[in-house]
């Protein structure tokens, strides 16, 4: 029978996909949003989200064992602090992440053995094209992805970045839904911002910056960082972009930034580093996602410094951990 702890642990891992799909069902049906005001009976929830009441009762009851809901007797169910994060409008919401995982990611990882045999992303084999090309052709998915990334929030380490105090323009390359740009513009009222993104993310960024009342200080550019990067900035940001790409593509992006930026400008790269010994479980999970989805990888500090060197940058500093334990800020200048 083997060791009971080991057996339970492995069963938890091999059945993790079932739980992920059940979290997806909660997210897709909007159940957590319906519970925002407190406990509600299953019959009401089922009627409002268009679910079968018996199936929904079983889903919520079973997920209560995994810490997402609390059973409140005749009053139905309420959210725990974990379940709260499946709501749409909470800080750090994981609703869109659960939807991405339940749909495109789950479909891609069915073919993970293809990646093992070929070294190529399973996503491309299943969806017929690379991840970001697919997003470009599926605006709804692109929006889900931009919101999922945006909900993670900007790494707190950026708020303390001194050169932004005296900068005129910051250019956020691959800036997602504009969350980081909004935080930086709010913290620096004299700063102007440029965001370069694929069209789907630009649409999400326009909404976000408009809602924040910052659109008049921001220019949104729909385009590809493989083709052209806006010039004239004082600070360029590449946040959580390079880890999406294999080395040759990452260097190509850095080259484009290098070509566009004035000699006096600085580049900041925000990434989660893999430590020499391996790093955290979260970093390992992101690395697995990169393996199956898009030919990217989590890198060590030495690997990032080598990429920057190859693209003509001199690294000035690597900031110590802040926020998530493996997050780092690399500051570089043109060589
Ligand atoms: C992992 S997300 C990071 C987003 C944002 N910087 C953040 O930290 O939340 C990577 C971003 O790169 C963008 N991207 C991918 N290919 C691109 C391209 N060719 N040109 C511009 N942006 C691109 C994606 O749309 C996505 O928003």
Task: Give the DSSP letter of residue 130.
Answer: -
Residue 244's pLDDT band (boundaries 50, 70, 90)? very high
Continuous segment of H or E residues that includes residue 154 = none
User: Which two structure tokens, joined as six digits, stand for 228?
Assistant: 């052209």
Closest alpha carbon to 29 in 51, 13, 47, 11: 51
pLDDT tens-digit readout, 107-139 = 999 999 999 999 999 999 999 999 999 999 999
Phi, psi of 331 (to 5 degrees): -110, 130
Residue 181 confidence (pLDDT): 93
Q: Which atom of ligand 1 is nearest to the CA of 172?
A: 6
Q: What residues have CB less than 8 Å from 91, skipping those under 6 apart?
A: 153
Helices 16-29, 53-65: inter-axial angle, 10-degree rounding: 130
Nearest-CA residue for atom 15 of ligand 1: 132
Q: State how beta strands 266-272 and 192-197 pair.
A: unpaired
Residue 275's pLDDT band (boundaries 50, 70, 90)? confident
**Nearest-10 Cα torsion for 290, 132, 269, 149:** -80
- Distance, CA of 301 to CA of 283 (rounded, Å): 13
Mean pLDDT score, 58-68: 98
Continuous segment of H or E residues that includes residue 116 = helix 112-118
Residue 40's pLDDT band (boundaries 50, 70, 90)? very high
The neighbour count for residue 147, using CB atoms within 10 Å, is 23
User: Which two structure tokens, joined as six digits, stand for 133?
Assistant: 């090309």
Residue 1 confidence (pLDDT): 57
Query: If you average pLDDT over every residue of the chain, what do you get?
Result: 93
Residue 328's pLDDT band (boundaries 50, 70, 90)? confident
- Predicted confidence (pLDDT) at residue 160 exceeds the cutoff of 70: no
Cα atoms in the Cβ-side hemisphere of radius 13 Å centred on 216: 3
Q: Which atom of ligand 1 is nearest to the CA of 152?
A: 9
Closest alpha carbon to 101 in 289, 284, 245, 291: 289
Continuous segment of H or E residues that includes residue 275 = none
Mean pLDDT score, 158-185: 88
Phi, psi of 145 (to 5 degrees): -65, -45
> From the CA atom positions of the chain, what is the Rg in Å?
22
Q: Which residue has the tokens 């880890």?
A: 243
Choose, from 101, 243, 249, 255, the residue flagged as catalytic.
Answer: 243
- Predicted confidence (pLDDT) at residue 75 exceeds the cutoff of 90: yes
**Quick check: is 243 catalytic?**
yes
Residue 149 confidence (pLDDT): 82
Q: Which atom of ligand 1 is nearest to the CA of 150?
A: 9
Q: Which residues line ligand 1 (CB under 6 A)?
A: 132, 146, 149, 174-176, 180, 196-198, 201, 224-226, 239-241, 244
Residue 146 confidence (pLDDT): 84
């Amino acid at each position: 029978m083997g060791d009971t702890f080991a057996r339970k642990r492995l069963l938890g891992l091999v059945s993790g996909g079932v739980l992920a799909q059940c979290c997806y069902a909660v997210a897709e049906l909007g159940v957590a949003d319906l519970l925002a005001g407190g406990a509600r009976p299953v019959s009401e929830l089922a009627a409002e989200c268009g679910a079968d009441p018996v199936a929904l009762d079983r889903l919520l009851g079973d997920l209560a064992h995994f810490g997402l809901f609390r059973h409140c007797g005749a009053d139905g169910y309420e959210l725990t602090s974990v379940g709260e994060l499946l709501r749409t409008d909470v800080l750090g919401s994981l609703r869109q992440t659960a939807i991405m995982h339940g749909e495109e990611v789950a479909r891609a990882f069915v073919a993970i053995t293809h990646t093992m045999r070929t070294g190529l992303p399973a996503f491309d084999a299943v969806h017929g094209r690379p991840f970001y090309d697919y997003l470009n052709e599926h605006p709804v998915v692109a929006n889900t992805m931009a919101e999922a990334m945006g909900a993670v929030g900007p790494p707190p380490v950026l708020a303390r970045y001194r050169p932004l105090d005296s900068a005129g323009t910051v250019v956020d390359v691959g800036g997602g839904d504009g969350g980081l740009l909004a935080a930086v513009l709010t913290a620096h009222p004299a700063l102007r911002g440029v965001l370069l993104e694929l069209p789907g993310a630009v649409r999400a960024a326009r909404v976000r910056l408009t809602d924040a009342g910052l659109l008049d200080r921001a220019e949104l550019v729909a385009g590809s960082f493989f083709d052209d990067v806006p010039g004239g900035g004082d600070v360029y940001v590449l946040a959580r972009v390079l880890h999406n790409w294999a080395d040759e593509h990452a260097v190509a992006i850095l080259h484009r930034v290098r070509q566009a930026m004035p000699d006096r400008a600085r580049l900041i790269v925000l990434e989660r580093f893999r430590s020499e010994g391996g790093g955290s479980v979260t970093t390992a999970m992101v690395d697995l996602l990169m393996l199956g989805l898009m030919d990217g990888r989590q890198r060590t500090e030495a690997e990032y410094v080598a990429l920057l060197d190859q693209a003509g940058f001199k690294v000035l500093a690597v900031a110590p951990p802040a926020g998530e334990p493996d997050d780092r800020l690399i500051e570089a200048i043109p060589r």
